Amino acid sequence: PAGLVVHPAAGNWEGTLQNALLHADPGLAALPRSGIVHRLDKDTSGLLIVARSLPAHTALVRMLEERAIHREYEAVCRGVMTAGGTVDAPIDRHPVDRVRMAVREGGRAAVSHYRVIKRFRAHTHLRVQLETGRTHQIRVHLSHIGFPLVGDRVYGGRLALPKGATEDLRAALRAFPRQALHAARLRFEHPVTGQPVECAAPLPSDLRDLLAALARDAAAA
């Protein structure tokens, strides 16, 4: 097994992905979730691990639980971060809106490490490393510290257009169709050979276009 690049999709993207995997390898029908080891949020692009045997699936799930799989994301958030840091804040279901997650005392432990890749006038391009893997973890943690993801209507609220933004950037922000989050890198030991496996997925075109618009806005300022 290796990495599989998944691009944003509407509707039941995981069901669609499982059908595609089964078409490529009917033997995956014998594995839980057609061999998919972990989830991505709907409308998050990037890498997933897919196992092709039950022993590999069992081993990879255990590695995930033991935090032995390095997962790194790239994100674009609202606001200008002065430096990187760590969010160590437990996550549980929102007390009122059960579709959402929230930072809550008594929730499950959740730790995210973030580093600045590039700052713009009113946004930041980040690298985020997960120590745990809670539902919506990056989105919840960044919103909790006041830097919600661009395009995240669940945790970031309504569209925010920065004061003085170029019309080019305003159009790009209005058109961006999802949360600006991409699973960029995975690193783990092969469950059979023990050899290191590293996978990387380049940024998709929508995120590249957004970053280009942010750079042009910064240059214009």
Task: List active site positions.
Answer: 41
Residue corresponding to tokens 């509707």: 11
Quote the CA–CA distance of 118 and 122 in Å, as a whole number: 11
- Tell me how crowded residue 102 is: count the other CB atoms within 10 A of its CB: 19
Give the distance between the most distant pair of CA atoms in the chain: 57
Find, among 203, 212, 200, the residue nearest to 71 by Cα: 200
Count Cα neighbours of 158 within 13 Å in the Cβ-side half-sphere: 2
Sign of CA dihedral 96, 101, 104, 109: positive
Quote the CA–CA distance of 112 and 124 in Å, as a whole number: 16
| Burial profile 81-93: b = 16 or more Cβ within 10 angstroms, e = fewer | beeeeebebbbbe
